[in-house]
Structure 1
């Protein structure tokens, strides 16, 4: 299941951020899993003001919309929260379902995108974070064998891994597990604690991408790769996870080779300490964070682009 993360918004205080469109993760079976219709603008930081577009179909600048499509994975598109969406019969933040049930995101309109919330049974011997898991029906059914407060994620042919849902509140999201970051998408329906990572090392497991967290300008997280056959440098993109590993979906204005009419463009991350790493016309390695604003360990993170 793939996830499309949308990217749009301001630069979140990162004066050098590039605009990052929505992301899409296509893992091959139920790739187009939409995490709900959240469509809000969030910034991912970076030169040029990286932003994420909440919807899974357009502009960079919002978090993400995740959909589960007909691919080898059960989730694919992620979009940021925008206040709309489907039926919300429970609250996944407070887990206010009756005893023996849990509040879960699911697709209520048959479009393979998470846009609704409902109470579903907690199975016996339910899985904990990191455990393998299975789903009933599809990856967007909302029914799995993970414990309360967890969800079966990255489902391929019915099998995935239990990940924790975010804790706290929509205004103050957090993750109980260390080295994870909260991603909110699909109109606030999808709230996942995904592994933190280093964009220069691209140290996510498997083929997962390390991209900016649309909700947290100080964090990068691992998401499914939805680039498919596209996603090379300077390719057009609509989602922050629609570029190959090592690239981010940014504002097309940052590179002369990008289509200025595109929603976003795949731009390479670069190490500020390495000279001559950028290949674009007049491109330099631009600091992702403003001077003195980088979190520890991310001081050298940059993105290739034309100084604005």
Structure 2
């Protein structure tokens, strides 16, 4: 089953910019008697969810046109998540296009001196960043200089039980390994943050610091610190946000005292994937 791929475009989203956008378009109405459906993204797709149908993704990213045109679409001459698309001794790297974006995926000599999640230094002109085949050096900040070797993907099936997500700094797709937000054990500088449909180990942005009552802008854009999740503001005591969304604590659904009254621990996901059915969020159900 072919899944939609994300566009690789450089972007650094700030909550301030999103708040301006939200004030222009207005607030969303809350559906009654429903937890916030993190399986459905209402804020723009930055996550490709795992295929639960049992099928496989047959889409071939290497069949993409050799020209990116004006839209910044990726040019896949190889698949960064599939070692077999390059010859022995090579790896698939993301190189710069004429606009300075990492949209050119091509085979380069493998210089694998690092392992997954180790610190790397971007070398987007030649791809010689030390990351092993099957991974990409994904920037940790907008400066686009220092990154981490993260497992690459072009579809969710390459991530096993994880999610194929887009970097908030470069737009590069990488696998976010599933994690428990109540007991985070993510490698390196990564944090256990919400994606569309689950929690995964991701590179934090400067905006991922929100705690209970702080404004946020949905599961894809994030804005909440580790241990918190973005939810409908009208259900969160003390929330004051023009986006109508606020951060609130995650909780264990079996712990009846895990939230401060009047909030209680309620499901985060409408249809939780395996392993996430015990995770809730603190809010007051309608």
Q: Which protein has the larger Cα radius of gyration, Structure 1 or Structure 2? A: 2
1:212 counterpart residue number = 194
Extract unaligned runs of 5+ from structure 1: 8-14, 19-42, 55-61, 65-83
**Correspondent of 2:158 among 171, 175, 190:** 175
2:125 pairs with 1:146: no
RMSD: 4.2
1:231 counterpart residue number = 210
Change (3 A) 1:225 1:237: same
CA contact (8 A) 1:107 1:115 kept: yes
CA contact (8 A) 1:243 1:266 kept: yes
Q: Which has the higher helix share?
A: 2
Q: Which has the higher strand share?
A: 1
1:103-152 per-position Cα deviation (integer Å, ceiling 9, x unaligned) = 52657545xxx5733436334346453454322279xx966332443201
2:176 pairs with 1:191: no
| Distance (Å, rounded) in 2 between the aligned partners of 1:278 and 1:260 | 21
Change (3 A) 1:97 1:179: closer
Change (3 A) 1:307 1:92: farther
CA contact (8 A) 2:153 2:173 kept: yes
With the length of structure 2 as denominator, give the TM-score of the two structures.
0.61
Change (3 A) 1:259 1:193: same
1:284 counterpart residue number = 264
| Distance (Å, rounded) in 2 between the aligned partners of 1:207 and 1:182 | 18
Extract unaligned runs of 5+ from structure 2: 1-10, 19-32, 48-69
1:207-244 per-position Cα deviation (integer Å, ceiling 9, x unaligned) = 53322322xx2x32011232559512111123643212
| Distance (Å, rounded) in 1 between the aligned partners of 2:266 and 2:245 | 18
Cα offset for 1:261? 2.0
**Secondary structure in structure 2 of the residue aligned to 1:116:** strand
**Correspondent of 1:124 among 111, 120, 125:** 111
1:250-276 per-position Cα deviation (integer Å, ceiling 9, x unaligned) = 232332422252263111111111123
| Distance (Å, rounded) in 2 between the aligned partners of 1:149 and 1:233 | 38
2:179 pairs with 1:200: no
